[in-house]
Amino acid sequence: MQTLAGKKILLGISGGIAAYKCAELTRRLIERGAEVRIVMTQSAQEFITPLTMQAVSGNPVSDSLFDPAAEASMGHIELAKWADLVLLAPATADLIARIAAGMGNDLLSTLCLATDSPIAVAPAMNQQMYSNIATQENLATLARRSFHIWGPASGEQACGDVGPGRMLEPMDLVHRAEDFFQPADLSNIKIAITAGPTRESIDPVRYLTNHSSGKMGYAIAEAAAKRGAHVTLISGPVNLATPANVERVDTDSAEQMHQAAMDAATNHDIFISCAAVADFRPAEIATQKMKKKSGEDEMVLRLVKNPDIVASVAGLTEQRPFTVGFAAETQDVEQYARGKLSRKNLDLICANDVSQQGLGFNSDSNALHLYWPEGDKALPLASKHELGQQLISEIIDQFKAKQH
C-alpha cells in the first residue's frame, strides 16, 4: 500500500554513525510512494557516501551551499520550497544546536531556515550528549517552534554506552511519516473494537485462554484514532500500551467483554469484533485451588457456551452499528468465512489462515481476505501496523457504501 504516494520528503543527513541506516530509510520511503531528495552535511559523507544515497534515491545528492550549477538557479531555495516534509535523520547534537540558534552555515541548516514546510527531527547521539542540558534546551526550543521531535530510542550505542540517544529505526521513522500525512477524516465516526484474548477461570490460579496477543486489534484502533475517529477499545488481558487518543475498557472473561460490547454497540457507528473470544467456559469455578489427588490421573471439566459477542451486536434491532467480524481459520477459509458472515448477519468479515507460519496470533505480520455479501478483497501480507491502516480504509468504504 503506497501510504506516502505523491509526498515529497527531503531527507537531511548529518554526521552520526546512524547515517548508515539512511539507505534503508530512503528505500522504505520510496517503497511507500514517496519521492525522496537527499541533502548531506560534509561530516555525513564520512559515514555513508553521496553515491550510495544517489543510487538508492534515484536523485542527485545535494551537499554544498556553494555548488555553482545548483546555485545558479538558487537551488537551496528551490529545495526548500519543494518539500512536503523535511526529515533530519540522523540529527546530531551539533545540527540541532545550529538550527536552534538559527544558523545557516551549510546547505542543510540554510534549507531549514528557508523552508516553510514542516520539519521533523530524529535525534541521534551519545546518551550523555542527549541528556546534556544544552541539547535538552535546544530540543525544547525546536519543539516550541513547532518542529516535530521523533525519538530518540533508548538502548545500546555504538560507543558502548546504554541509554537514550539512538536514532529511531528506519521503519519507525517511516511509520511516523505515514502518521504525519494521515488525513483526520473520521472525526464524526465512532468505532468500537474488541481485541486480545479472554480468560475463563477454572479456579483462583488457573484459567483457559488462547494465543491472541491483541496486536491486530490494537493496530486497527491506532489507525482509526490517527484518522480522527472516536475509538473505544474493549480489551482482553494483553501486554500492549493503549494507542494515543483511544478510550480503553479492560475486560477479562468473555461474559465481561460481552457486557462491555453491548454497552458500547448502540453508541457507535461501527463495531469491529477482533478479539479471540473463548467459545466455552467452565460451568463451575472452584473457590479454592484444585489439588492433585493420589490415584487420580484425570480431571474432567464441564464447559458451557459463552455468549456470542459479534452475533449479539449484529442482531440488534435498534441502533445497530455496521458490524465487522473476524474468522481465524485453518482450512476452507472462504467457505467458513462466508458461512459465518451469513449466519451471524455481519456486514463484513475479515478472514485469515492461521495455519500459515508467521501469520495471525502473536506475530507482527498478517494477511487478510475480506468478504461481504456482494464481494471480496484480499489484503496481502504486511505488518499489522500497515494492515490496520488498510483495513480501516476498506471498512470505511463499505460503511459509507451501505449508508448510501
Is 203 part of any known ligand binding site? no
Q: Does 7 count as an annotated binding residue?
A: no
List the one residue out of 75, 43, 73 whose CA is nearest residue 62: 75
CA 303 to centroid of chain Cα atoms: 37
Does the annotation list 326 as a binding residue?
Answer: yes
Q: Which cell goes with 278?
A: 473463548
* C-alpha to C-alpha distance for 364 and 358, rounded to whole angstroms: 8
Instruction: Answer yes or no: is 305 a known binding residue.
Output: no
Q: Is 309 part of any known ligand binding site?
A: yes
User: According to the annotation, is 190 in a ligand binding site?
Assistant: no
Reply yes or no on whether 159 is catalytic. Answer: yes
Q: Which of 22, 112, 159, 274 is catalytic?
A: 159
Q: Is 340 annotated as a binding residue?
A: yes
Question: Would you name the residues annotated as active-site residues?
Answer: 159
* Residue list for the binding site: 279, 289, 307-310, 326, 340, 344
* Residue list for the binding site for CTP: 279, 289, 307-310, 326, 340, 344
